[in-house]
Amino acid sequence: MKEVILDTETTGLSVKDGHRIVEIGCIELDNLIPTKNKFHCYLNPERKVSEKALEVHGYTDEFLSTQKKFSEICEQFLDFIKDKRLIIHNAEFDIAHLNNELAIFGKKKISNETIDTLVLARDKFPGSPVSLDALCKRYRVDNSRRTQHTALIDCDLLAKVYINLIDQKEPTLNFQSNDQEINEKNNSSVAYFKKVITPTSDELKKHKDYLKNNLKKNFFN
């Protein structure tokens, strides 16, 4: 099944305060392997970027004022995600902003099946940090390029994290660079591996504390 790793950057946190999207990034996966199909754009939000958002992504009002408006890329974006499962970290945030943009231009809300990797991570690692940076550290994914939040870099990192989160095997030839392509004809036997992560003593203690506090019967006394 084809999936789309999706991320947005915005002028601020809440659509209720009139905040808009300034960047959309998408990377297509086909059976968990990134294809060359990507969607990326900067957007003119037609309003100022908040100071906190500027600190996060670094996109200035001057830069964004020269970009396309959402209405100009709307159909292209919808075509890209059509009939594909969306993979998003903190999906509630991104979907709310995307639906707000669509509503402004009289479009229907996004109805794609969506997997929230933040929810997956919280279920899998209760009591532990589950930010994208924290998950990159846990799975030993190099996030040194992430000096600021940018949609495509975040998508690339999330693709690697997602494969580990759902406990699938990761193609060793994948993710070496954005330009590397797996040639299906010449690589009939691609080596696969799954990273084995040993929990730290602190993580084991937090997990034990979580079980103590949440199980009806206390098995630890």
The catalytic residue among 40, 97, 149, 207 is 149
Chain centroid to CA 124: how far? 17
**What's the CA gap between 123 and 104, in Å, rounded?**
35
Q: Residue for token digits 């991104």?
A: 94
C-alpha angle 27-33-34 in degrees, rounded to nearest 5:
25
83 secondary structure, DSSP code: T
User: How do the residues of the chain divide into helix, strand and coil, expressed in percent and rounded to 5?
Assistant: 40, 20, 45
Whole-number Cα distances in Å, 193 to 3, 14, 45, 162:
21, 40, 42, 14
Q: Is 149 a catalytic residue?
A: yes
Number of CB atoms found within 10 A of residue 159's CB: 22
Show which residues are catalytic: 149
